[in-house]
């Protein structure tokens, strides 16, 4: 804990240097000044990217190269159609990691989707990858929902196992009249109703991390990421606020109780697990997955472990971008009790990770059993019964 505090202090001073000097926080009544307060470094301070202290902490380490149980990755992205050589390379890396099935959420629709499905079926790896369909919501107007639902039904009959909704819906997509297309727009209801009727889940990515909408100042813990990636900034008033998007999404979930929704990225409440738990308690048709939020889970191992134990039937495994060298960080965080180890992208997190040490029963559900129960048609020939 002392080391983590030290990093926060240094990063705070660096943020002040980068963003402009500000007055230090005032001391409340009865509080004595902290040691060193008001002092200035005697030599130039490192930048936020240069400060990488070498830890002197000595603790047991248990890196995990291969998942303890077979894994279905419900959240992956690959070309559609995927070439034979490309699929061969992906499957070789999957074998090393104990990844049994990848769900490619970038399946597209219509002819592209059918070509993607056929490419997988023709390959020697037909049991290793599945596709979700997509809907192009641009310029939606009267009658759009019924037409999109009819196309989606064709895509499901062709072999797609679900529907993936990208973050552009709600954030950027416009109706034909130029207005922002809201997540809970009644025009889209036929799409959600079709998924309920067909028995397929909707994996929906809503908004982005809350910090991406907050002011970009030295108090924003995603400052470096926002400084590096301009397309992750949503401070402009032309974008809806984080809470507005979440409210639209939650109304959508509640208004379609027969539709199964998988809220991507722990619904962007991995930093507030009590809020996510309340959402799952209120809406039994909602599930979630862990893609791209490992840094949030690994910094609160006790709270995260308790969450996974309580909601072990409601969480699926997902990774998002397919980077084989990053999966072992997930295995180590989920399977071990290791302390204070690195995350793989320092612009996501300045903190260290701690293992959740999940029980085998929970790991099996997280890694494959929940996905099998939720997504009919997943290839399961290589998975435990």
Q: Copy the structure tokens of residue 372.
A: 């099998």
Q: Which CATH architecture has domain 64-374?
A: Alpha-Beta Barrel (3.20)
Task: Provide the pLDDT for residue 87.
Answer: 98
* Contact indicator for 288, 315 with CB cutoff of 8 Å: yes
Task: Provide the pLDDT for residue 4.
Answer: 39
Within 117-200, strands assigned E span: 129-131, 163-165
Q: Please give the angle made by the CA atoms of 316, 321 and 322, to the nearest 5 degrees.
A: 90
Q: Where are the domains of the chain?
A: 1-22+37-54, 64-374
Task: Provide the pLDDT for residue 27.
Answer: 47
Instruction: Supply the pTM of this predicted model.
Output: 0.91
Task: Provide the pLDDT for residue 85.
Answer: 97
* Contact indicator for 308, 357 with CB cutoff of 8 Å: no
User: How far is the C-alpha of 202 from the C-alpha of 186, rounded, in Å?
Assistant: 17
User: How far is the C-alpha of 322 from the C-alpha of 362, rounded, in Å?
Assistant: 24
Which DSSP symbol is given to 362? H
The tens digit of pLDDT for each residue in 160-170 reads 999 999 999 99
- pLDDT of the chain along its 385 residues, tens only? 333 333 333 333 333 333 333 444 444 556 777 787 888 999 999 998 898 899 999 999 999 999 999 999 999 999 999 999 999 999 999 999 999 999 999 999 999 999 999 999 999 999 999 999 999 999 999 999 999 999 999 999 999 999 999 999 999 999 999 999 999 999 999 999 999 999 999 999 999 999 999 999 999 999 999 999 999 999 999 999 999 999 999 999 999 999 999 999 999 999 999 999 999 999 999 999 999 999 999 999 999 999 999 999 999 999 999 999 999 999 999 999 999 999 999 888 889 999 999 999 999 999 999 999 999 999 998 898 7
Residue labelled with tokens 């202090």 = 9
User: How far is the C-alpha of 319 from the C-alpha of 316, rounded, in Å?
Assistant: 10
Task: Provide the pLDDT for residue 17.
Answer: 37
Task: Provide the pLDDT for residue 324.
Answer: 98
- Which of 322, 277, 324 lies closest to 303, judged by CA? 277
User: How far is the C-alpha of 295 from the C-alpha of 210, rounded, in Å?
Assistant: 14
């Amino acid at each position: 804990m002392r080391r983590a505090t030290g990093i926060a202090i240094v990063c705070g001073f660096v943020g002040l240097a980068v963003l402009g000097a500000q007055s230090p926080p005032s001391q409340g009544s009865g509080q004595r000044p902290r040691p060193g307060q008001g002092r200035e470094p005697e030599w130039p301070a490192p930048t936020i990217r240069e400060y990488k202290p070498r830890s002197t902490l000595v603790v047991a380490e248990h890196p995990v190269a291969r998942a303890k149980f077979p894994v279905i990755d419900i959240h992956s992205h690959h070309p559609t159609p995927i070439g034979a050589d490309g699929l061969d390379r992906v499957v070789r890396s999957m074998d090393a990691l104990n990844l049994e099935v990848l769900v490619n959420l970038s399946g597209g629709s219509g002819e592209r989707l059918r070509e993607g499905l056929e490419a997988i079926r023709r390959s020697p790896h037909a049991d290793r990858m599945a596709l979700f369909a997509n809907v192009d919501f641009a310029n939606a107007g009267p009658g759009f929902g019924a037409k999109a639902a009819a196309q989606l039904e064709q895509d499901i009959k062709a072999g797609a196992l679900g529907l993936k909704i990208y973050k552009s819906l709600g954030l950027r997509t416009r109706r034909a009249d130029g207005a922002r297309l809201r997540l809970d727009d009644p025009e889209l209801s036929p799409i959600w109703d079709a998924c309920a009727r067909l028995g397929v889940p909707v994996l929906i990515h809503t908004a982005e991390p809350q910090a991406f909408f907050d002011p970009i100042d030295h108090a924003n813990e995603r400052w470096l990421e926002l400084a590096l990636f301009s397309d992750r900034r949503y401070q402009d008033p032309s974008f809806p606020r984080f809470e507005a998007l979440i409210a639209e999404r939650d109304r959508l979930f509640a208004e379609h109780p027969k539709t199964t929704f998988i809220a991507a990225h722990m619904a962007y409440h991995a930093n507030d697990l009590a809020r996510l738990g309340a959402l799952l308690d209120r809406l039994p048709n909602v599930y979630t997955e862990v893609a791209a939020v490992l840094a949030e889970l690994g910094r609160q191992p006790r709270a995260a472990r308790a969450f996974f134990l309580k909601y072990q039937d409601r969480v699926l495994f997902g990774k998002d971008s397919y980077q084989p060298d990053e999966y072992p960080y997930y295995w180590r965080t989920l399977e071990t009790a290791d302390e204070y180890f690195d995350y793989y992208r320092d612009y996501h997190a300045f903190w260290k990770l701690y293992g959740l040490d999940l029980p085998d029963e929970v790991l099996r559900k997280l890694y494959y059993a929940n996905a099998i129960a939720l997504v009919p048609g997943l290839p399961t020939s290589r998975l435990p019964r």
